[in-house]
Structure formats: structure tokens, C-alpha cells
Chain A
Amino acid sequence: MWRTNLRICTAGQSIATRRLLLVLLIAAGPTFAQIDLSGEWAGTFHEDLQHRGGVRLADYTGLPLNEAGWRKAQSWDEAARSTEERQCIPHVATYAFRGPATLRFTKVIDRVTGELQAYNLDGSYGRPRTIWMDGREHPSDLAPHTWAGFSTGTWERNTFVVETTHIKTGWLLRNGAPTSDMATMREYFTRYGNYLMVATFINDPVYLDEPFIRTTNFVESLLSNADVWGHCGPAQILDELGGRPKGSVPHYLPGQTDHVQEFVSKSGVPPEAARGGAATTYPEYMVKLANPSAMDNRLFPPPVPGKTLPRVASAQMDLTDDIRVLPVQGNVYLLAGAGGNIAVQIGEDGVLLVDTGMDTGAGKVTDKVMAAIRKLSDKPVRFILNTSADPDHMGGNERIAAAGSPAGGGRNGGNQGSGAMVVAHEAVLGAVSAPSGKQSAIPAGAWPTDTYSGDIKEVFFDGEAIQLFHPPAAHTDGDSMMFFRRSDVIATGDIFSTTGYPVIGKGGSINGVIAGLNRIIDITIPKDWQEGGTMVIPGHGRICDEADVVEYRDMVTIIRDRIQDLIRKGMTLEQVKAARPTLEYDPRYGSETGPWTTATFIEAVYRSLADKR
């Protein structure tokens, strides 16, 4: 590692010591690896100006959006930005450099070694980014995503190269042109004299035909300061959309094209080109532009019947060879890889679990779960709280409960057995038990030992209050979401997932799922800038916060609204399926195979809504 900072000798050091330091410095060799980027940098704004300030709806020119990308973009209503859940969202890393303010690069020096450890990057309405240069690895794919993402940097020749992952669902332009939470970014920061060029490559298999590149230019600024914002949290939020029904999500239904018409009329850009796409960014597209009859200039081309957009999200990480353990917050940990997610709370009183994963026979998975728990705590498991009756969430109940210790019987005599107490909504017991004289598929040892009715149950354990909320008729009729009040973590069960569309099972409904998601949003409180604060463990997938739930709630609500609209128009189930109301979300959440396909989801939503008519 080259050393660039010369320590100032203190008055107490002898001349000989100073000499020795200097000689050692020389002996270490020339240490000139980095070109200094620190300072303030002002944007030059000589290109793409109309994509940076006041970009128009439906202008996606030059963006390599795929079909899912432009369809999602066209459905975006700018009123969404004014909803309470989105007012504090800053510029996401995939866009932040396009913002109108000055950047500030600051060196982070390790005070012990004197090494350049990282750069901090502020300004331009983005969240502060730390670009680590100490060789650390990027976090697990189960770790939370943030607006700034997680960045590491290295030097290549004259250029600082930065890799960024773990970015929240965001945008390329502030007109709804989307990026997914699977997007990654590679940036090149190159100084040319007093200028800085940032070449940004965004790779998003969900919404882009091919990686997107853009270059943003800055000039060294001696007179300005980066606009680093203060706090923006719940206290700063206003009701900007007065009268909006709770949970409503502004969006355009497919075929609502006034905003598209307005852009193409004023700009002269043909509708096909306005939708973007990789093909439109190459010079040969000018030939097509000269021949409009060769273009599809409908404002909203309907989906091609039978055409699907395949899922590009990685395979679900539900069952893996190893159980992975991630700290979430406070006393709560995530165990992933056993089927459904397991939340573990540890403390002096023992271990409390939310769900126990899947038992694939002979207890192999459960043994791994127990081994993972033992790494966190040697105390006994005293509570198991089940989010539903799903076998991938309560499959390990029997073995883990049996290996646990009682939490105490209480005055009503609950938990008379010798193992851990198993708590669930009463509908879970109804689902797993069998009528008299019949044999249940679920062994009795896995059944809840303690149930509750109504919509709330309280537990206090390990010095922490835990609330169980029952959202009625959501994923099933027996769901519970567990809120750890001191750790500020909520485990949602299958009402919320980052790996697929919500599963609507026995007794569930789409409106119940949406109500459940809105309940989560009510409970969660972001720390600042719509991130952090209350953390969320979904039924499947990575650790989240409120913003991720909002994104998922919006998706489910938009699909519900579309199907509702099609039902109002008198469409049959087959016609609704042919209209492909989920199309732009399928690459991220859809599935063509397995027990819960996209078609199954649409059917469930349709029946759920049609039954209400």
C-alpha cells in the first residue's frame, strides 16, 4: 500500500526520531498510488440537461429499458413521490450523480495505520456513501439494501473504480424509469486536470436490455459546498395528498396514456423511441427513425398474448446446505436456508424463535437449525411463535420444541408439556389438527400449545415486549406478525416476501394481504431518509426496512387495482390472464414452475376479488 500522508512530527519528538521517521519513509519507497479526488465538485450540466432537472413523464429516450422496464415506467404516477412513505426518499445511488448539487469527496484515514481506508461521498441529494478501500468484502445477499448501496473501490491506472451492490429499488430518471433491487453498479472516477468524469455502468437484469452507461462531469469547485441535508424522518413528513385513502398507491392503469401522448406531442419523439430500449441507442436506429412506418408507434402496445417475461431473480434461497445466520438488530437474528425465514431472539431467559423452518425428514434441516442456534446461545429454546401453519415455517416445531424447556405454565395452565411453548393464532391449530377420529398430517408435537384469538397477543421475554398481530384473511386465516419492540424488528411471515408474489392460501385474500402490508408500514418507523429504523424479516428473502415493504405493497396494490379494473370491465379469468396484469413484475417476482406460479397468483387474486362482487 502506498503511503501518502506524511505525519507531522510533534514537538516532543527528538530530531533523531524525526530523521529516523523520514528515512523509514523513504525506505518504504515511493507511495503514489492514488490521485487525489477529495474536495468539492460541481456538476457541469452540459449534456442530458432535460433528463436531470424536470424530466418529463414518458421520456425514456436513450435508456436501454426492456419491456418490463418501460411498462413499469409508464405506470408510474409522479404523485407517488408525495405519499408519506416516499417524501423522505433521497436520490438513490443509481441516480444521485445526476442531481443538481455539488459533490464532496472526503478521505477517511485510519488513525492507527495512517492508511487511506475509504472515501466518503456526500451531496447531490444522495445519501452519504462510503467507498471502502480496505479490502473488505461485500455483505451477504441477505443483508439490507440502502439508497447508497455498499461500495468498494480500487485504483486502476488513473481511475478510481467502484463496485456497488445492495442498492434499494430505485430509478434511472425521476420519471419512473426503474431500477430493481438486483441492480449493481460499476463506476469509474477519472480526473482530467480540474475536471472529474464519472462513468457509471448499471447492470439490472430485471429492467434493462443491457448494462446502461452514462457519464457525468464535474469541475473542481473552490467556492461551493456540497449540499448535505440534515434530517428527514417521520417528523418532517406532511400530508401532501390530503384525502388520499389509506394505503392507496398512485399509478396509471395500463392503457392510460395521456402522459405519453403529451410527451410525444410536445417533443416530436416517436412513441416507440420514447419507450427506450437498447436498440434505440445505436446509430442504426436513425435509419428506423427516418422510416416511421417501420416503428410501433402505439402509445401503449398491449402485451403480446402468450409472451412471458422470464424470471431473472436468482433461485430462491429457501433451502440451502448451510443455515446462514445474520444479525438483524438488537437481540434478533435471522436464520435463513431452512425453508421459511426463522427469527431468533436471544437473551438471559433463553431463546425465542419465530418459526422453525421446514423439516425435510429425519430432522436433517432441523438439526442444522439447532446447531445454528447453539452458536448464538447455549440457553434453552423456550418459545416458538408461528407466523402461519405452513410446513416451511413450522416444520421444525416438533423437534425444536421437544429439545426446549418450558416457559412456565401460568395460572391458566398453558404449556403443560416439557418442551418449549408453541404459540400461534387459533386458526393455525385448526389447520394442523384433525377432526376427531381422523389422523392429522402434522404430528401433534408440532401443534401450537398455546393459541390466541382476536388480533393481538403479547409476550414478554428476554427483557423485551413482543407483540403478535393477526392480520385477518391475509396470506391465510391464521397469520401472525411478531414485533420485537425493543430490538425494533418485525418478523412478518409470508404476508411479505422478497422472493415472490404473495401466496394466498386457505382463508386468505388479496385485500387481506394488502391490509397486512399496510399494517407493517404502520408499525415500522424509518430512522432517517426512509431507511433503517424498524427492520423487517420477511417470510422469505433478505432483511428489509419500511421502504422495501412500501415497494412490495405498491406492487401488490397495483396488481390488485389492475385486476379489479379488468373484473369491472367484465373480463373472465382467462381474459384477465391474457391481459398480463403482472407483466413488468414477473422478472423479479414471477414463476413459471413450482407450487405458486404467476398464473396461480393471478387466479387467486381474481377469485379473491370476484368473490366480493
Chain B
Amino acid sequence: MTRSLAATLLMLAVGVLATPQGKQAPPVPKTPKEAAPIDLTGNWVSVVTEDWRWRMLIPKKGDYTSVPLNPEGRKVADTWDPANLASDGCKAYGAAAIMRVPGRVYITWENDATLRIDTDAGRQTRLLDFDKSAKPPSARTWQGHSSAEWERITQPGGLGVSLQQGPGRPGALKVVTTDMKAGFLRRNGVPYSDDTMMTEYFDRLEAYGTDWMTVFTIVEDPRYLDQPFITSTHFKREPDRSKWMPQPCE
């Protein structure tokens, strides 16, 4: 390293430390609830403008259009018997599918580190846990174990990028869910296995005077899927729970 380059680097280091931004780092919030860059709480209704035939109606047996099932997954899907629909219980209401089921969701803070999602379809409850030390329950459940974090978009290191590195940008709510019971991606028996891991990004948008929540979902199932199954689902804010229509699955 030449002396001039070393001098430059020293100046850079001094410059970085001397910038006002360096002194004005935002205080670290105490709880995930306080740190929330977006407010997801409230009443939301799914507006089914996509995959309507596969969500509002029960698709025919063997119709797994656009789901990247592998041969094993197709084999399992083809064994589904519509005559046993009633006995499918909550299989189509597990975490990997529940946000695609037409219905309403009610989101609240269960405590300072847990976001809670209640659904009227299937009457399910999801707990999104910000506590990274929390362990999954010993038994698998329909909703599995969801680990949550507020995404913060930052640039990986290196001197070049460090020159431009800011404090990062607040992103979405990122949720990784594991430990689910095997279930259905669609009500006609399109399967996901208990090996499934799901990553979701919850975000907020506003358009034409209406609040929206989007959920970008990546379902990875090495047993039944050829590739990650990617969907995005949108919900419109509602003022109250007057249209809540709880429908249990059993």
C-alpha cells in the first residue's frame, strides 16, 4: 500500500467518523413492537383478483395448475378424493396456504415481541415470534413455528460500498415458518409436506385512498415441489370486524 493511499484511507476513516450521520444514529428501539416501521395491525380482507377459480371454488381433482409439483407431489395430489372433502379438516388452512384462503385476518400485538394473526377462514391463529431464542414447540402444528424480524436492507461490506453505506433502509416484516403439519396448498389436495419451510414478507401499500397489505410467500418443500412456490397475496384494510365470518375447520 502506498503512503498516499494510506493517507487517503485515513482521511476516509476520519471522514466517516466525523459525519453528522455517524453521531446521529437512531436509538435502538426496545421492543419489536416499538421498532415496527409499518403498522400491520387491524382488520384486513383478502381481495381475490388472482387465481380466482382456484381459491373461490374448489378446483377439480388433479388440477394443480401453476404449482411446481414434482412427480411425487403430483402422485399425492392425484390420490385426493373429493368425496372425503369434509374429512380433510384443517389441511387446507395450514400456514403454507392460509393467507391464500379467501377470508379476513385480524392482526394484533399479542405482546411486545409477538404479532398475532387471526383468520376467520378456518379460525386459525398464527403467532409471529420476534424472539430469536424461542424454540419451536415439540409437536408440529398447522401453523408451525414462525420466526419474525423487521427486515433492514443494508449493503454487504467492502471499502467501496462502505463509502456509500448509510444506516440501511427499513423493509418489510420477514417471517420464516417451520414445524408445520403436512397440509394442502389448495383445497383439492395439492400437498405440502412437513419438511416445508416458508418465508413471507408482509408489507404495506397505499393506492387510490385505500390501505393494502401484501404478503409475498415462498414455500419450499423438498419432498413435493420442484422449485420454490412463489405467490403474493393482497389484503384491503377494513374499518372493523363487522364482516368477520368465522368458519372453523375440524
Contacts and interface: CB of A to CB of B under 8 A. Distances in A.
Contacts of B241: none
Q: Size range of the interface on B?
A: 35 or more
A30 B201 contact: no
Contacts of B214: 188, 190, 197, 199, 215
Given A29-B19, A30-B164, A289-B57, A19 B234 contact: no
A162 to B, nearest CB: 11
Given A32-B164, A32-B169, A213-B212, A192 B4 contact: no
A6 B159 CA distance: 12
A312 to B, nearest CB: 15
Interface stretch (B26-34, B42-50, B110-118): B42-50
Given A22-B163, A190-B203, A213 B56 contact: no
B248 interface: no
Looking at chain A's contact residues, the main secondary structure is: mixed
B239 to A, nearest CB: 15
A35 interface: yes
Contacts of A609: none
Interface residues of A, number: 62
A211 B170 contact: no
Contacts of B51: 47-48, 62
A267 B54 CA distance: 11
Nearest to B151: A158
B121 A283 contact: yes
B92 to A, nearest CB: 13
10 contacts: A19-B8, A23-B15, A29-B20, A32-B166, A46-B66, A48-B51, A212-B49, A217-B231, A219-B230, A282-B45
Interface in A182-215: 186, 188, 190-192, 195, 197, 199, 201, 203, 211-215
Which of B103, B165, B169 neighbours the largest number of chain A CB atoms within 10 Å of its CB? Answer: B169
Contacts of B245: 283-284
A574 B155 CA distance: 70
B203 A159 contact: yes
A62 B49 contact: yes
Interface string A228-270: 0000000000000000000000000000000000000001110
Given A29-B19, A46-B66, A158 B171 contact: yes
B65 interface: yes
B205 A45 contact: no
A363 B155 CA distance: 65
B68 interface: yes
Contacts of B249: none
A588 B217 CA distance: 39
Contact of A30 (B7, B21, B229): B21
A25 interface: yes
A192 B176 CA distance: 13
B104 interface: yes
A152 to B, nearest CB: 15
B65 A50 contact: yes
Contact of B12 (A26, A35, A64, A267): A26
Which of B45, B216, B232, B243 neighbours the largest number of chain A CB atoms within 10 Å of its CB? Answer: B232
